[in-house]
Amino acid sequence: MSGASGMTGSELVRQILESEKDSRIIGFDNFFASSIDTIRDFLDNSRFAFNEYDINDASKMRIVEEEVVREKGAFDRVVYINCAAVVHTEHFYEVEHTWETNVISMKSFLEQAIRVKADIYINCSTSEVYSMQSWNENGGVRESDYLMMSTAEHSQRTSYACGKLMTEFFMKDAVDKGKIKGCSIRFANVYSKHERFAKHIIPHIINELLEKNSVKLLENSKKNRRAFLHNIDSCRSVMALINSEKALDGTVYNVATDEEITIIDLTNKIAEKMGLPKPDIIFEGYRSSDPERRILNTEKIRTRTDWFPIITLDKGLEMCVASIER
Ligand SMILES: NC(=O)c1ccc[n+]([C@@H]2O[C@H](COP(=O)([O-])OP(=O)(O)OC[C@H]3O[C@@H](n4cnc5c(N)ncnc54)[C@H](O)[C@@H]3O)[C@@H](O)[C@H]2O)c1
């Protein structure tokens, strides 16, 4: 597993160790956007081997490959999960970096999985690929919908989405050619209690509220709505797909919730859960090529697997607020 100490990776480590009792995880991360803290509790577990490796470092990836080859005989199946990526809004504009890590190294990692004859490859893609057409009047965009993307004429931000879209083609090609089974997952707005210092909207609001009773939001927030997906649920979808062989046909799966909320209501809800009065909201700055809504139709994963989200926004936010050290 790449990106093993990230938000998704670390929760997946927890869920795999808990539910797949005969499994062993070989995980790595270069701590670009995470730290050892998220996986500290698992480091003593003999079923989890972790190393500080960069997915872009071919020599380190050879070590991972050798370890998989050495160990695979003892297991029924080998699953590659690629969570390593340059993620988060502030990095979306870094074209070269996202290309190298998110596309080139996704492909190298997939080629490694094919070389070692792994059974499954899970590719983490993103709902960002829906770009400017992230919702419709029928209750959400589908995997098969045509895309309407911002381009370099509008914003460098779309380079992240374009890179992720490219990985979906590599995934489909490998499965169509019978080299491996797998799929791509388009997650939407994942959050967790581990995100406190990141720049995503939920930790941003919590941090602002902790410092003062006012929250700075982008001008976009006057209109924007989002549906948030708790990382317990995003990782449950990975587990559901891994265990649904027929679903591993190389195609794409939307993973999201239907609980849409305006960013202003989200701010007030978090303040209420923190026991604070309704905060002042200051609007400052504008992000171009940011869709007003993002609603994903999740019928495909719900019909092909037994997945459905179990963490409501209320519960998820309570978990975030409960983890704050004041
Ligand atoms: N967070 C979201 O809302 C969201 C939404 C859609 C898709 N995704 C996708 O889900 C996957 C997991 O993202 P996440 O939310 O856990 O983000 P994250 O940033 O918490 O995790 C990504 C991990 O990859 C690691 N990483 C980055 N560059 C690396 C490199 N060169 N070598 C090794 N490790 C490296 C980071 O240190 C981090 O731990 C990513 O592919 C991301 O694109 C996330």
Mean pLDDT in consecutive groups of 10 residues from the start of the chain, 326 residues: 97 97 97 94 97 98 98 97 89 88 98 98 97 89 96 92 97 98 97 78 93 93 95 98 97 96 97 95 92 94 98 97 84
Radius of gyration of the chain (CA): 19
Q: What is the pLDDT of residue 94?
A: 86
Show Cβ contacts of residue 270 under 8 Å, excluding neighbours closer than 6 positions.
202, 205, 206, 209, 317, 320, 321
Cα of 32 vs centre of ligand 1, distance in Å, is 9
Looking at ligand 1, which residue's alpha carbon is closest to its atom 35? 84
The closest alpha carbon to 54, from 97, 14, 17, belongs to 97
What is the largest distance, in Å, between two alpha-carbon atoms of the chain?
A: 60
- Measured from the Cβ of residue 141, the count of other Cβ atoms closer than 10 Å reads 24
Report d(CA 181, CA 142) in Å as an integer.
Answer: 22
Cα of 218 vs centre of ligand 1, distance in Å, is 24
207 is written with which tokens? Answer: 């941090």
Cα of 55 vs centre of ligand 1, distance in Å, is 12
Q: What are phi and psi of 149, to 5 degrees?
A: -105, 145
Q: Is residue 231 helix, strand or coil?
A: helix
Pocket test for ligand 1, best of 39, 63, 83 (most atoms within 8 A of CB): 83
User: Atom of ligand 1 at shortest distance to CA of 55?
Assistant: 32
Cα of 266 vs centre of ligand 1, distance in Å, is 24
Q: What is the pLDDT of residue 60?
A: 98
Q: Would you say 214 and 208 are in contact if contact means Cβ atoms under 8 Å apart? A: yes
Indicate the DSSP class of residue 212: -
Show Cβ contacts of residue 149 under 8 Å, excluding neighbours closer than 6 positions.
129, 131, 132, 158, 161, 162
Report d(CA 182, CA 246) in Å as an integer.
Answer: 10
Looking at ligand 1, which residue's alpha carbon is closest to its atom 21? 6
Show Cβ contacts of residue 52 under 8 Å, excluding neighbours closer than 6 positions.
28, 29, 30, 31
The closest alpha carbon to 228, from 309, 148, 169, 109, belongs to 309
48 is written with which tokens? Answer: 């989890």
Q: What is the pLDDT of residue 87?
A: 86
Show Cβ contacts of residue 18 under 8 Å, excluding neighbours closer than 6 positions.
none
308 is written with which tokens? Answer: 């459905």
Q: What is the pLDDT of residue 189?
A: 93
User: Atom of ligand 1 at shortest distance to CA of 190?
Assistant: 3
User: Atom of ligand 1 at shortest distance to CA of 33?
Assistant: 37
User: Atom of ligand 1 at shortest distance to CA of 164?
Assistant: 43
User: Atom of ligand 1 at shortest distance to CA of 9?
Assistant: 16
Q: What is the pLDDT of residue 91?
A: 80
Report d(CA 273, CA 314) in Å as an integer.
Answer: 9
State if pTM tops 0.75: yes
- Ligand 1 site residues (CB inside 6 A) read 2-3, 5-9, 29-34, 54-56, 83-87, 101, 124, 126-127, 187, 189-190
Report d(CA 227, CA 136) in Å as an integer.
Answer: 14
Cα of 85 vs centre of ligand 1, distance in Å, is 4
